[in-house]
């Protein structure tokens, strides 16, 4: 087979997989042989983050930011179509002569999907569903996708399971297998010199946490260690303690129940890892591996008992910090970077690596300089937000989190160097008054730069934040 001169791109995207769930990166309890090999083949960003979210379904804006390269308050992410002036990742690579393929969870509307991909299969437009009975669409070249599409819920109140939809249901096959089968089918049919961009977006390890029995048996809940920041409940009202994710476990959080949740979470990730391995084996067999850029990332984290929370609706590291690995042409092997990066940086990075121009609508930063200069930190600080409830900023050592909930303002300050589990609040310590003031000023700078105050969420936060 004649090969493309330009590199292909194969992008794996996990759902709810937080940053510390890869064996090679220090988690001795989990088994991830495929991801371990990917770490050895490429560059790992140990401080990759999402900026947060503006609804309980944090993955919805996260995916919109990934595919547009735009910041949190500069995009539309209602679950419907992305505006035409936001150039999409797949759309852009189509315009650069790539064949684009998408399978799995989309969650940003059929119109945006149709703009992005020239090929695909087993397309899931919802947010979550039964992993063994995924209501999925076949690829529709007309882009109409006229089956029953999901209704966007008010996630602040219900965060409910999306309605059944799609033009078929493949019963009895797990979602991770279903999507990887579609990816393998594309690779096996692929011929020619036209480079491809493949996007394989998993529903795992999002709940309901089910997986083949072989993988469940790998993890004994009794052997799982609880994280140091496990709590029976969050120490104060963060504004969303009764959202759907938080109702997945009893109150107060039970240690044994939490260990079971973590064991099932790890089992889903190990199963996902094995399915990725199947796809990569076909890539190797086709002789395409040496000329393919590989990307692995997660759309957001998950608490699973940390700080007494179960979901991802917070600004703690377990919710906003995610895995990010890149490997392939132009990327150094077996390297780690602690640069401050966002997932929205992936778009301009792939443009840089393939020699494509970066669209004017993209706001992310290319990570290629961080590949070439180990000391390149990309940013000095990072900003996070959740709805009109939480705002936060961190520098290389400290994180400030501000809450504006039901007329009450709460402040947290963590020294991440000595307290990586975010347990000891230093906000009221007189020795840290200057740091609180410094980070509050930096928080305001970010809010202004990202036009937070021009949004309903920003105004709602500010109303409480400035009044107390």
Which residue, of 345, 372, 399, is where some domain finishes?
372
| C-alpha angle 253-256-262 in degrees, rounded to nearest 5 | 85
Query: Does residue 438 form part of some domain?
Result: yes
Shared-domain flag, residues 234 and 339: yes
Q: Identify the CA nearest to 236 among candidates 418, 402, 7.
A: 402
CA 181, CA 120: separation in Å to the nearest integer? 11
| Sequence-separated (6 or more) residues with CB below 8 Å from residue 149 | 110, 125, 165
Q: Is residue 2 part of a domain?
A: no
Beta strands in 406-450 (DSSP E): 408-415
- Our count of domains for the chain comes to 2
Q: Do residues 47 and 191 both lie within one domain?
A: yes
Q: Is the residue at 377 inside a domain? A: no
CA distance 10 to 293: 6
| Residue that terminates a domain, selected from 340, 372, 404 | 372
Provide the CATH number for the domain around residue 400: 3.30.1120.10
SS3 of 425, please? coil
* Pair 187, 286: CB distance under 8 Å: yes
Residues 347 and 395 in one domain: no
pTM comes to 0.95
> How, if at all, do strands 52-53 and 119-124 pair?
unpaired
Q: Are residues 257 and 124 in the same domain?
A: yes
Give yes or no: residues 97 and 66 share one domain.
yes
Do both 194 and 115 map to the same domain?
yes
Residues 317, 249 within the same domain: yes
Residue 468: what pLDDT? 61
What's the confidence (pLDDT) of residue 158? 35
The per-residue pLDDT for 318 is 98
Can you tell me which residue has the tokens 């504004």? 239
Please tell me whether residues 63 and 42 are part of one structural domain.
Answer: yes
Q: What CATH number is given to the structural domain containing 172?
A: 3.40.720.10
Same domain, yes or no: 189 and 264? yes
8-state DSSP, 218: T
Domain contains 12? yes
The DSSP annotation for 290-347 comes to GGEEEEEEES----TTBTT--SS-SSSHHHHEE-EEEESTTS-SSEEE---EEGGGHH
Which residue among 332, 354, 372 closes a domain?
372
CA distance 325 to 48: 10
Q: Around Cβ 220, how many Cβ atoms within 10 Å? A: 9
pLDDT of residue 154: 36
Same domain flag for 413 and 336: no
Tokens of 85: 């002036």
Q: Tell which residue, 327, 465, 447, has the closest CA to residue 381.
A: 447
Question: What is the Cα Rg of the chain in Å?
Answer: 21
- The predicted pLDDT at position 170 comes to 86
Q: In this structure, is residue 207 part of a structural domain?
A: yes
Give the pLDDT score at 193. 83
pLDDT mean values, one per 10 residues, the chain (468 residues): 83 98 98 98 98 95 96 76 90 98 95 96 94 95 75 37 68 96 98 94 98 98 98 98 96 98 98 98 97 98 98 98 97 96 98 98 97 91 98 98 97 98 98 98 98 95 87
440, two tokens? 């509050």
What does the alpha-carbon distance between residue 108 and residue 60 come to, in Å, rounded to a whole number? 7
* Contact of 102 with 201, CB cutoff 8 Å: yes
Which pLDDT belongs to residue 221?
Answer: 98
Handedness of CA 361, 363, 368, 373 (dihedral sign): positive
Domain that holds residue 138: 8-372
Question: Positive or negative, the Cα torsion across 194, 195, 200, 201?
Answer: negative
**Strand residue runs (E) in 344-436:** 382-386, 390-394, 398-405, 408-415
The number of angstroms, rounded, from the C-alpha of 377 to the middle of its chain's C-alpha atoms is: 21
Which SS3 state, helix, strand or coil, does residue 124 take? strand
Specify if 3 maps to a domain: no
Residues 329 and 396 placed together within one structural domain of the fold: no
**Is 212 found in the same domain as 112?**
yes
């Amino acid at each position: 087979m004649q090969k493309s001169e330009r590199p292909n791109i194969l992008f794996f995207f996990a759902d709810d997989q937080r940053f510390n769930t890869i064996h090679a990166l220090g988690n001795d309890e989990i088994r991830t042989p495929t991801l371990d090999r990917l770490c050895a083949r490429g560059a790992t960003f140990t401080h990759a983050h999402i900026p947060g979210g503006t609804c309980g379904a944090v993955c919805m804006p996260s995916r919109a930011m990934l595919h547009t390269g735009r910041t949190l308050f500069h995009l539309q992410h209602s679950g419907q179509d992305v505006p035409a002036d936001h150039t999409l990742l797949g759309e852009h690579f189509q315009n650069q002569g790539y064949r684009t393929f998408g399978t799995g969870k989309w969650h940003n509307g059929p119109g945006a999907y149709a703009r992005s991909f020239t090929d695909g299969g087993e397309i899931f437009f919802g947010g979550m569903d039964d992993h063994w009975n995924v209501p999925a669409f076949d690829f529709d070249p007309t882009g109409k996708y006229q089956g029953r599409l999901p209704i966007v819920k008010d996630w602040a109140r219900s965060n409910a399971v999306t309605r059944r939809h799609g033009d078929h249901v493949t019963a009895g096959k797990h979602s991770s297998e279903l999507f990887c089968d579609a990816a393998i089918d594309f690779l096996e049919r692929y011929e020619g010199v036209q480079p491809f961009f493949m996007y394989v977006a998993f529903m795992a390890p999002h709940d309901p946490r089910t997986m083949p029995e072989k993988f469940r048996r790998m993890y004994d809940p009794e052997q799982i260690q609880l994280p140091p920041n496990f709590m029976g409940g969050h120490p104060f009202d963060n504004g969303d303690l009764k959202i759907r994710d938080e109702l997945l476990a009893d109150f107060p959080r039970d240690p044994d129940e939490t260990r079971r949740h973590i064991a099932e979470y790890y089992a889903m990730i190990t199963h996902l890892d094995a399915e990725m391995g199947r796809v990569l084996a076909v890539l190797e067999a086709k002789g395409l591996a040496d000329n393919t850029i590989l990307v692995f990332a997660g759309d957001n984290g998950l608490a699973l008992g940390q700080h007494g929370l179960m979901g991802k609706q917070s600004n703690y590291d377990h919710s906003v910090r995610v895995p990010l690995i890149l490997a392939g042409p132009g990327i150094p092997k077996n390297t780690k970077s602690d640069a401050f990066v966002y997932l929205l940086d992936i778009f301009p990075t792939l443009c840089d690596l393939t020699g494509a121009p970066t669209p004017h609508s993209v706001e992310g930063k290319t990570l290629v300089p961080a590949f070439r200069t180990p000391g390149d930190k990309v940013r000095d600080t990072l900003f996070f937000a959740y709805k009109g409830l939480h705002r936060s900023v961190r520098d290389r050592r400290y994180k400030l989190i501000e809450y504006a909930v039901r007329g009450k303002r709460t402040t947290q300050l963590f020294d991440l160097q000595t307290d990586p589990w975010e347990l000891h609040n230093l906000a009221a310590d007189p020795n840290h008054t200057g740091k609180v003031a410094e980070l509050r000023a930096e928080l305001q700078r970010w809010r202004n730069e990202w036009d937070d105050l021009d949004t309903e969420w920003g105004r709602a936060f500010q109303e409480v934040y400035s009044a107390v």
